[in-house]
Homo-oligomer: A and B are copies of this chain.
Amino acid sequence: MTKIAVLGTGVVGDTIGSKLIELGHQVMMGSRTTENEKAQAFLAKHNGNAKTGTFADAAAFGEIIFNCTSGGGSLDALQLAGENNLKDKILVDLANPLDFSQGMPPSLSFVNTNSLGEEIQRAFPQVKVVKTLNTLWCGLMVNPGMIHGGDHNIFVCGNDAAAKETVKDILLSFGWIDKNILDLGDITKARGTEMYLPLWLSIYGSTNNGAFNIKIVS
């Protein structure tokens, strides 16, 4: 079992952190301040099986870091986590660079020739960034079997092959099926998975059901 930091106290961080605890990992949830109410609720819910701390505390604790902060605040949160605390570790980036400044639907802060995944990798060159799980509702991230017998696709990308293998093992432990975990290549491939978000939102808007995913058929 692994020491894992979950940065972010929203529904994504709570969902990922709770699943990791269920799987027997040691989890510290990191937030901007130690008094964060959602982090305290997470702590209470897990009855001593969870830890909480600042972003820096959590990053120092974790051997693997999950970025579950909202995309607009991810770079700031990671700066607070601290380069030295993140160095040489695997950073699993689940965030999308949503920009709500122009109203709904959100646009993306980085597109085309850039992505949040790449921005993070550039800001922290000694961190092994693996982008994954940002293409679906968090309930399905940790419970793919909830729909279609778990037979649908998830993407991973990143520059470090060994880090991607470690993350794939975590995905398998979440219930993802090996053949459905598609390695898209290096971290530049984060562009495609982030730019899928507007289509995801359109499908959600049209079907009124967020518990869906895509399956590649050929």
Chain B residues within an 8 Å CB radius of A113? 102, 107
- How many residues belonging to A are interface residues under a CB distance threshold of 8 Å? 41
With A214-B215, A217-B212 already in contact, the answer to whether A199 and B195 are too (CB < 8 A) is yes
* CA distance in complex: A152, B216 (Å): 9
Mostly helix, strand, loop or mixed at chain A's interface?
Answer: mixed
Query: Are B199's CB and A209's CB within 8 A?
Result: no
| Binding-face segment, A29-37, A121-129, A182-190 | A182-190
**In the complex, A100 has a CB within 8 A of chain B:** no
With A112-B111, A195-B195, A196-B196 already in contact, the answer to whether A217 and B184 are too (CB < 8 A) is no
Query: Are A195's CB and B198's CB within 8 A?
Result: yes
Neighbour of A203 across the interface among B184, B191, B200, B201, CB < 8 A = B184
Residue of A107, A152, A183, A206 contacting most chain B CB atoms (<10 Å): A206
